[in-house]
Amino acid sequence: MESQNINHEDEKIIINQELNIWEALIPVIALVGLLAYNVFVFGDSALGGSNQFILIIGAAIAAIVGFKNKVSYKSMVEEVAQNLKSTTGAILILLMVGALAGTWLVSGIIPTMIYYGLDILNPTIFLAACVIICAVISVATGSSWTTSATVGIALIGIAGALGISPGMTAGAVLSGAYFGDKLSPLSDTTNLAPAMAGTDLFTHIRYMTYTTVPTIIVTLLFFIILGFTNDTTGAADVSQYQGAIDATFNTTPCYL
């Protein structure tokens, strides 16, 4: 009887043994290497489906490492299920956010923000205004890419008419867009990060403000100074952009 107990305890010790750092890195290195090779071979087409096979191969390599260290198949499945369970809330939020962002775009809420945001443009504060406009829209949509691809393009076009460097404008657009994306409750990464770390969304956002708010303040000061020292050669004509928005969407201050 004692012998059976000892064997059972020994088995538990074997099952619960920790991996050394090199064994733990094997699946990670293999995954990164295969993804890099996949992108090198297929280029942009890698996102079309071949990456998914790489992820499956990476999971298989991780399973082999687990089996080598006496981790049972049941334990692996339970851990996978637990990880999926922890991200279920974030996944549901992302699905609803996608629907919400699309609804806001089609209904005219986001175009209205862009429409009235363009009204505050002034050559002197143009770059700082770009940061603020993009930050607000990015917080509302939860997407830095959407912000950059919509209002960002319009702002770069206006910058050309003012004689302001497109590079400076792009920097201002991205600064605001990524700031808003980082703090938006609708952002995918902002939802997934706390889900994986085991905390709640708004605690995660609160702690991110410790670094992002000082950063955006410094960025705004930089662009304000740059605006006062930068010579402009034209005037901000936003009528064509506002006309295009009006022709496509129903814009009204009530949406704000």
Query: Which of these, 74, 51, 89, 72, lies nearest to 198 by C-alpha position?
Result: 89
Q: Model pTM?
A: 0.62
Query: Which of these, 195, 110, 189, lies nearest to 154 by C-alpha position?
Result: 110
Q: Give the tens place of pLDDT for each residue, 191-242.
A: 878 877 778 888 888 888 899 899 999 999 999 998 888 766 655 666 777 7
Torsion of the alpha carbons at 96, 102, 108 and 109, rounded to the nearest 10: 40
Q: Give the tens place of pLDDT for each residue, 62-98.
A: 889 888 888 888 888 888 888 777 777 777 777 776 7
Joined tokens for residue 103: 């609804």
What is the CA 78 to chain-centroid distance, rounded? 29
CA distance 256 to 252: 8
Q: Where are the domains of the chain?
A: 2-71, 95-255
CA distance 50 to 183: 32
Q: Are 124 and 223 spatial neighbours (Cβ–Cβ below 8 Å)?
A: no
